[in-house]
Structure 1
Amino acid sequence: MNTQEGNLLFPVFLKLEEMQLLIVGGGNVGLEKLSAVVKNSPATPVTMVATWFAEETRELASAYANVIILEKSFEPEDLDGKDLVIAATGIREMSEQIRTEAHKRKILVNIADTPDLCDFYLGSIVTKGDLKIAISTNGKSPTLAKRIREYLEEALPDTTQQLLDNLQKIRMQINGDFQAKLQALNELTEKVFKK
């Protein structure tokens, strides 16, 4: 029995460009999910299924050769060959059907704005070059996650990528075993982030 409280989610960074993603829904929420995917992993193979697509969704999808739009009703066969699915329909009964069919195929599901049906959440993302930070509120407040993202984007210096590149070069030049390298890098980064 787990007595720990708080956010028990396990953070993972996926190589989404190596997976097949299905997004069901072509309205504003589908657009939001597609935007998040292509911003973070623009080469991801995405199939979008919906009976209707907002013009903005069509425009964004048309900018990426790896995004396919299918204007039709969802069918369980749409899940064949997919690794992840995001349901952005806003219709609970349809979302539950998508989830059931996905789970039969052992596919993880995100149901937009319905945390109790999700296997995973899409966090708010801060990106500064190669540095990427995901923020989760355990599905309780995407708005707070967005505000924290905005704060961190402002707080992290524009030279973050340069710092990462320099630390990588230093790491490659440090001699010794793993523990010695770890200690040297800890001492160096501690100096960088001293208050």
Structure 2
Amino acid sequence: MEENHLFPVFFKLNRLQVLVVGGGNIGHEKVNAMLQNCPEGNITVVAITFLPELEQLAKTFHNITLIEKPFSCGDLLGKDLVIAATNDRALNTCIWEKAKASKVLINVADTPELCDFYLGSVVQKGNLKIAISTNGKSPTVAKRLKQVLQEAIPNTLDEVLNKLHIIRDKLKGDFAAKVKELNKITEVLVAPAAEETPKED
């Protein structure tokens, strides 16, 4: 049976340099998704033309750079991640080839076999962030699961996280001792709900 062997990581985009090739709907979607998760992300977008919405993002976020020109190999210089987001399959494949030659991680939109990483659906409640992956099988299912989790996880959970952070800082002992104590404190989060005792008439 096939399994999902992806290794989930969370990138600090404010410490990386990201290149997006494509200024249309796909490019706008990818840039917007990254900004929602990391408003300080360093993103360069290369395209022949840009959607007005993408131009507006660049005006709002000064860490977004728009370069109006065709893609070239030099665009990969100094980049850590690249997203090929054009509607030209041949161009996307070319970008993939150049990225692999430059040892830059790449995501080719809607082409799982040419992706080193995926941009999954994300659920966020304050400091809590959950990324969902279907191994490239169905982004639609990932979006539906996002809706379910977004509604199921209470907003107050972020308050719990903040209080636990304070408790952790006050705990004495080594790492193992702190983990043991925090496990005790948070056990209530995973304990099965107690069954109600039926009342006698």
- TM-score after normalising by structure 1: 0.94
2:44 to 47, 52, 55: 47
1:112 aligns with 2:105: no
**Correspondence for 1:22:** 19
**Quick one: distance in 2 between partners of 1:61 and 1:154?**
31
Task: Check if 1:162 corresponds to 2:153.
Answer: no
Any idea what SS the aligned residue of 1:146 has? helix
Deviations 1:164-184 (CA, angstroms, capped at 9, x unpaired): 011111112222232222121
Report how many residues are paired: 192
Counterpart CA distance in 2 for 1:43 and 1:176 is 36
2:35 aligned residue (16, 35, 38) = 38
Partner of 1:78: 75
1:185 to 178, 182, 187: 182
SS in 1 for 2:123: strand
**Greater C-alpha Rg:** 2
SS of the aligned residue for 1:68 comes to strand
Whole-angstrom distance in 2 between the partners of 1:192 and 1:100: 47
Q: Provide the rounded CA distance (Å) in 1 between the counterparts of 2:139 and 2:44.
A: 25
Distance 2:129 2:98 in 1: 32
Partners of 1:159 and 1:194 lie apart in 2 by 18
* AA partner of residue 63 (structure 1): T
C-alpha separation in 2, matches of 1:191 and 1:138: 32
Which residue among 124, 133, 138 is the counterpart of 1:136?
133
Q: Which moved more, 1:174-183 or 1:145-154?
A: 174-183
The TM-score, its normalising length taken from structure 2, stands at: 0.91
The residue identity in structure 1 corresponding to 2:190 is F
The answer on whether the counterparts of 2:42 and 2:63 sit within 8 Å (CA) in structure 1 is yes
- Tell me if structure 1 keeps the 8 A contact 2:46–2:66: yes
- CA RMSD of the aligned region, Å? 1.2
Match of residue 145 from structure 1: 142
The answer as to 2:88 corresponding to 1:91 is: yes
Distance in 1 separating the partners of 2:31 and 2:159: 30
- Structure 2 segments unaligned to the other structure (5+ residues): 193-201
Deviation, 1:58, is 1.4
Distance (Å, rounded) in 2 between the aligned partners of 1:142 and 1:47: 25
In structure 1, what is the Cα distance between the partners aligned to 2:169 and 2:106?
Answer: 39
**What is the CA distance between 1:103 and its match in structure 2?**
1.2
- State percent identity of aligned pairs: 52
